[in-house]
Amino acid sequence: MEQATDVSTTNCLLDALPEAERLRLESAFEIVPLDRREELLAGGVPTRHVYFPAHGFCSLVSVLRDGRMVEVATIGREGAIGTNAATDGRHASTLVVVQAPMTICYRMPMTRFHEEVRTSRAFADLVARYNDALVGTIVQSATCNAVHGVEKRLARWLLMAHDRVAHDRFLLTQESVAMMLGVTRPTVTVVARGLQADGIITYHRGRLLIHDRPALERAACECYGVMTTALRAVADVTCLPNDPQPPE
């Protein structure tokens, strides 16, 4: 770990703060790498840090008693991890798992986070707006899982992953996608083959390549645009697409 020396990098929330605030917060952050499948928060476990990713992304996951998991939100450089838990109490209510590794993530101790929320109006307002937007995306995700088919949901998930990794090619296992969408691996196989047959993606041995982003947007449900627009509204500085196209 190393002490952060410049937080005006690629986290949208931090970049949206006034320059004086960003400079003042430098001492509050450590730069830490995060590995794929690393668990940052877990239900019932005390929350010790808040994380601000500079790239990559994590999944906010709801875990059932039988061990099944369903993703309820995707969090990358447009947001932060642990702000709700740190604001509302000292325990996370859900699991947060790293999906795409990060060489740079800004980590703030929870005690310092509480102090900044109490003393900095700019920081507190930004966190509050982000928490509201995150709750909105969780609600939209629940709606999406209830009413939209697997192909549309997979397309939506791939778009959100693509936005956050900023690369057309990334690692993605069927097991991971099945868990995130709450479906079986054979279902993911069938749906992925359909997208591949249409020339939208190539998927082989856990490696995915997006060939046709506009076609993937057309294949997705309206929830992608709703979620992205809600997150973009949090700050003037953003790293998500400006105008996600609605499905036809």
- pLDDT value of position 158: 93
Name 2's bridge partners: 31
| Cα(157)–Cα(161) distance, integer angstroms | 6
Using only C-alpha atoms, the chain has a radius of gyration, in whole angstroms, of 18
Question: How do the domains of the chain map onto residue ranges?
Answer: 2-120, 145-232
Token representation of residue 200: 């939208």
Cβ 36 vs Cβ 112: under 8 Å: no
Name 75's bridge partners: 58
Dihedral angle of Cα 111, 115, 118, 121, to the nearest 10 degrees: -120
- pLDDT value of position 174: 81
Q: How confident is the model at residue 6 (pLDDT cuts 50, 70, 90)?
A: very low
Name 74's bridge partners: 59
Region 229-241: mean pLDDT is 75
Summarised one tens digit per residue, pLDDT across range 148-168 is 999 999 999 999 999 988 789
- pLDDT value of position 214: 95
The domain made up of 2-120 has a fold known as: Jelly Rolls (2.60.120)
What is the CA angle 140-144-149, rounded to 5? 170
Q: 15: which DSSP letter?
A: H
- DSSP alpha helices (H): ranges in 17-120? 19-25, 83-88, 110-119
**Paired sense of beta strands 30-34 and 102-109, if any:** antiparallel
- pLDDT value of position 238: 57
234 alpha carbon, distance to own chain's centre: 14
Token pair 């990358």: residue? 76
Phi/psi of residue 61, each to 5°?
-120, 135
Single pTM value for the model = 0.86
The domain made up of 145-232 has a fold known as: Arc Repressor Mutant, subunit A (1.10.10)
| Cα(176)–Cα(165) distance, integer angstroms | 16
Cβ 16 vs Cβ 78: under 8 Å: no
Query: Percent of the chain beyond pLDDT 70?
Result: 88
| Cα(55)–Cα(100) distance, integer angstroms | 8
Token representation of residue 28: 């509050």
- pLDDT value of position 98: 93
Q: How confident is the model at residue 248 (pLDDT cuts 50, 70, 90)?
A: very low
Q: How confident is the model at residue 2 (pLDDT cuts 50, 70, 90)?
A: very low
Region 192-201: mean pLDDT is 93
Mean of pLDDT over the chain: 85
Region 128-143: mean pLDDT is 93
